[in-house]
A and B are shown apart, each in its own frame.
Chain A
Amino acid sequence: MSLPRRVAALGANCVVRHLGCIPYEEALRLQEQLAARRRTGEAPDTLLLLEHPPVITLGRNARREHILASAEELEREGIALFETNRGGDVTFHGPGQVVGYPIVDLSRIRKDVGWYLRTLEEVLIRAIQELGLPAARRAGMTGAWVEESKVAAIGVHISRWITSHGFALNVATDLRSFRHIVPCGISAHPVSSLETLLGTSVDRGRLERSLAEHFGDLFGLRMDWSIPAGRERRSPCPPPM
């Protein structure tokens, strides 16, 4: 027996960072920096978990008509607007969401974007199922669904196989904000949140941990929580008025 269990089971390392509430722009910059440093090997694979103050973002394929509110209306409600380089259409981020941005090198895992999307979905589905909800995927409509409702959206950017952007899971999101958009361009199905569907509150910390664990299992990465939470965990976003 030449390989002890611990080293034999070792996958690559993936650092988990809980960033709390962080403005969209700031998170975008952080992702760009991490992706650049991942490319040169200076940074390990990283999973950022966070939430954003209210913001509507437009992916590369976004159609302006999928934003239903006028610029003035959005401004009045304190909702920012961003065009980004992720795939997908229009989406809303706000307090009560768990947003996950994996910055990983797919060339070391599996060079297949289809597989990456399906695996991200699976991470979400498993974490949601742990809460007792029958989460599933729907053919042709990327994301995580509970029956007829969409609870998580996915949009990804890949540059030289380094991923950025990722998923947004509605935990306790104020769903009224979605009335301003046609989420991901899908108008026939409603958006929901875990707390709405469960009728109880969800422990955000536990959910983040579960997401990270499933992420590690499914991507074959060893999740590393060694960045002390105290140094990094910031306060959650204030709930909407």
Chain B
Amino acid sequence: MPTADVTMPQMGESITEGTVTKWLKKVGERVGKDEPLFEISTDKVDAEIPSPASGTLARILVQEGQTVGVQTLVAQIESSEPVAAAPPEAPPQPNKAPPPKAEESSEEAGQIRSSPLVRRLAKDHHVDLADVEGTGPGGRITKEDLLAYVERGKTAPGAPAAARAPQPSALTTREEVVPMSVIRKKIAERMVLSRHTAAHVTTVFQVDLSNVVALYQRDKARFERQENAKLTYTPFFIRAVIDGLKRFPILNSSVSGENIVYKKDIHIGIAVALEAGLIVPVIPHADEKSFLGLARAVADLAERARTKKLSVSDVEGGTFTITNPGVYGGLFATPIINPPQVGIVGVGGIHKAPVVIDDAIAIRSLVHLALSFDHRLIDGAVADQFMASVRTYLEHWEEDLFA
């Protein structure tokens, strides 16, 4: 049985020794990795030290009240077989936009094609995947196939899918049946997946955009002439969102099983509406770009999206999304999170409205920003602090567009 050594940690350059003040576990007791194991104190600091390994506390070598030098062996842990380790279940990661990868598409014996998520759902609903007809590429069983099968099972137990007859209806309706396009099916799948996995909450902030609008109007002509790039409001919002993401990194994370995965890079997805459907091209390392760089990236992606020149890599790897439901004058919408991301900001229509400032009525340019966030990871207070910081950034815009 492997043994892990626990030593007096070095808590700082100038600190050479520490006093064990309390053992939080007894000999023979189980301890998890990173679970607090003992407390030490040095000068004015009291610190809780986590266990370096999981297992059973086998020996305590330094008693409470004893002071020893750093790196001194204070205890030993006999690590057990990974009882506590998480089962090797794949995280519920959605399929990427391109066709499914070969590695995840084949099951050993039955050759039933499905994703880990579908297999788990099947298990939850006690469904044998062999009974389900797949409508995905290559007969792949999608989540919708499975949920539809479960639904049918509820209404008509045992009735096979094909035998289901259309209900006779008194009122006849003329219909045209058109198969969904690949992109439509993909959107449908992703939207439902998001709704089923993330705990959506939306918070809406009204932002006074007057300063930004004034700047935009003042500099638009010069910017486009000088920089040869179209100026839109989008880079303003991207800028403000990036600032917020840096302050509240949890918004730029994702869920993987029972872990939170913080993304150290900020890749912003920008939802672009096309005739065929919505597509979300990504600006990689958006936080490293200047305002001008962002403006160019937005214009370039929008152009290539419309001319269908986006490559697969252009739509992959986003860590946070900004969408723009306000183009037709909508005040705001409650966007659906783009999994595995945990937040999405929807920009409503920019409009003038009377607002009360210091007990006087003024005409200001307003916009409503709606953040949908995954409440599994993000609490309302954090979401609102993030939005407050985005609002502050926009209301007190101080960046030179030509920098």
Interface on A for B, CB 8 Å cutoff? 1-7, 10, 12-13, 15, 37, 40-44, 59-61, 85-88, 111-117, 142, 154-160, 222, 224, 226-227
Q: Which residue of A lies closest to B14 (CB)?
A: A114
Mask of B17-40 contacts with A, CB within 8 angstroms, 1/0:
000010000000000001010010
Q: In the bound complex, do residue B44 and residue A42 qualify as a contact, i.e. CB atoms below 8 Å apart?
A: no
Q: Judging by beta carbons under 8 Å apart, are B12 and A112 in contact? A: yes
**Additional A-B contact list (5), CB under 8 Å, known A5-B403, A41-B250:** A7-B287, A85-B39, A116-B12, A117-B43, A155-B44
Q: Verify B11–A157 contact, CB threshold 8 A.
A: no
* Candidate in B34, B39, B44 with the most chain A CB atoms within 10 angstroms: B44
Given contacts A4-B290, A44-B247, contact A87 B44 (CB under 8 A): yes
- Tell me the total A-B contact number using a CB cutoff of 8 A: 125
What are 19 residue pairs bridging A and B, where the CB atoms are less than 8 Å apart in the complex? A2-B290, A3-B288, A10-B243, A41-B253, A41-B260, A42-B379, A44-B248, A60-B46, A88-B46, A111-B11, A113-B43, A113-B45, A114-B14, A155-B44, A157-B46, A158-B46, A159-B36, A159-B47, A226-B388
Which of A7, A37, A115, A157 lies at the interface centre, i.e. has the most chain B CB atoms within 10 A of its CB?
A7
CB distance from B182 to the nearest CB of A (A): 37
CB distance from B306 to the nearest CB of A (A): 27
Interface size on B, as a range, is 35 or more
Tell me, rounded to whole Å, the shortest Cβ–Cβ distance linking B371 to chain A: 15
Spot the interface stretch: B191-199, B326-334, B392-400. Answer: B392-400
What's the Cα separation between A174 and B1 when bound, in Å?
A: 60
A13: B residues at CB distance < 8 A: 246-248, 389
A88 contacts B44, C-beta separation under 8 Å: yes
Name B's interface SS: mixed
Report whether B246 and A41 are in contact in the complex, using a CB–CB cutoff of 8 Å. Answer: no
Whole-angstrom CA separation of A12 from B245 in the bound complex: 10
In the complex the two chains form, is B12's CB within 8 Å of A113's CB? yes
Nearest B residue to A43 by beta-carbon distance?
Answer: B382
Q: Chain B residues near A7: list those with CB within 8 A.
A: 242-243, 246, 287
* Chain B residues, CB < 8 A from A10: 243, 246
Across the A-B interface, the 5 shortest Cβ-Cβ residue pairs: A13-B247, A112-B12, A114-B12, A159-B48, A114-B14
Contacts of B246 in A (CB 8 A): 7, 10, 12-13
Q: Let me know if B253 and A6 touch, CB within 8 A.
A: no
Q: Which residue of B lies closest to A165 (CB)?
A: B46
The verdict on A226 contacting B392 (CB below 8 Å), with A10-B246, A116-B12 known, is yes
A159 surroundings in chain B (CB, below 8 A): 36, 47-48
A-facing residues in B47-64 (Cβ within 8 Å): 47-48, 50
Docked Cα-Cα span, A89 to B293, in Å, equals 56
Closest chain B residue, CB of each to CB of A89: B44
Q: Closest residue of chain B to A222, judged by CB?
A: B247
**Is B291 positioned at the interface, with any CB of A under 8 Å from its CB?**
yes
Chain B residues positioned under 8 Å from A40 (CB to CB): 260
Chain A residues whose C-beta falls within 8 Å of the C-beta of B379 in the assembled complex: 37, 42
Contact: A6 with B399, CB < 8 Å?
A: yes
User: Does any Cβ of A come within 8 Å of B153's Cβ?
Assistant: no
- Whether B385 and A15, one on each chain, are in contact in the complex, defined by CB atoms closer than 8 angstroms, is yes
- CB pair A1–B12 under 8 Å, yes or no, is no
CA distance A3 to B290 in the complex (A): 6
Report B374-389 CB contacts with A as 1/0, cut-off 8 Å: 0001110010010011
Instruction: List chain A residues, Cβ under 8 A from B354.
Output: none
Complex contacts, A142 vs chain B, CB 8 Å: 43-44
Residue of A nearest to B290 (CB): A2
A15 to chain B, nearest CB (A): 7
Q: Roughly how many angstroms separate A224 CA and B242 CA in the complex, as a whole number?
A: 16
B42 touches A160 (CB 8 A): no
Establish whether residues A114 and B43, one from each chain, have CB atoms under 8 Å apart when the complex forms: yes
Docked pose: A226 CA to B15 CA in angstroms: 37
**Are the CB atoms of B41 and A224 closer together than 8 Å?**
no
By the criterion CB–CB under 8 Å, are B50 and A86 in contact? no
B262 within 8 A of A: yes
The reply to whether B47 and A224 form a contact with Cβ atoms under 8 Å apart is: no
Q: Which residue of A lies closest to B381 (CB)?
A: A43
Query: For B260, what are the chain A residues with a Cβ–Cβ distance below 8 Å?
Result: 40-41
- B137 close to chain A: CB less than 8 A: no
Residues of chain A within 8 A (CB-CB) of B382 are 42-44
Decide if B12 touches A154 in the complex (CB within 8 Å).
no
A113 touches B377 (CB 8 A): no
